Chains A and B, each alone.
Chain A
Amino acid sequence: DGGITQSPKYLFRKEGQNVTLSCEQNLNHDAMYWYRQDPGQGLRLIYYSQIVNDFQKGDIAEGYSVSREKKESFPLTVTSAQKNPTAFYLCASSRQGRFYNEQFFGPGTRLTVL
């Protein structure tokens, strides 16, 4: 089955720690994305990558970092510089192209800072 996997499902972090969220896809999609979802707010884009070894900041990139060493993988690191990291994090992927841009989402990781 093709799809997107995220791990872990739940993550607890102490203040001052960096944590890395995993995202893997086997859809052969070129583009991958990270979003943050907070209660009562729409999804906000953190980072996205259109090709291996390249990525761009989204609307709320401060305190986050990413890498794209493989087409299938796009891990997100939440650093200690992120002031309010408790949220639901969603990874997505899509084909590249002028029109075909439906994004398909993983199951999410809920991060809680203790």
Chain B
Amino acid sequence: EDQVTQSPEALRLQEGESSSLNCSYTVSGLRGLFWYRQDPGKGPEFLFTLYSAGEEKEKERLKATITKKESFLHITAPKPEDSATYLCAVRIQGAQKLVFGQGTRLTINP
């Protein structure tokens, strides 16, 4: 069964304290891995797409990387405004839908 697991469920950091969020996937053929940011009570906001192992994408303090089994969202010197839930999703071969993980709730304390 295609599965996406994110860890940790919640992460609390001090402002400026860098860390990484993990997204592990077991799928029958990856057609893309997607990272989203979701603020409370709002729809997810698209961040990155990764297609193959070794690929990296960056945006401001965020950097996404991917291997054959997992993806990481690295956050460097985070600020309080980076607090949100980060969602990972995969598209599998032959399917139109995305399979989502449960998300990591990130809190950055000033």
Contact = CB atoms under 8 A, between A and B. Distances in A.
Contacts of A101: 31-32, 91, 96, 98
Interface in B40-95: 41-46, 49, 51, 87, 89, 91
B96 A48 contact: yes
A91 to B, nearest CB: 8
Interface residues of A, number: 29
Given A99-B32, A102-B34, A42 B46 contact: no
Given A42-B4, A59-B97, A105-B46, 17 more contacts: A4-B43, A41-B102, A42-B87, A42-B99, A43-B44, A43-B100, A45-B97, A88-B41, A90-B44, A101-B98, A102-B34, A103-B46, A105-B36, A105-B43, A105-B44, A107-B43, A110-B41
Sorted nearest first, the 10 A-B pairs with minimum C-beta distance are: A105-B43, A42-B100, A43-B100, A42-B102, A105-B44, A108-B43, A107-B43, A45-B97, A106-B43, A101-B91
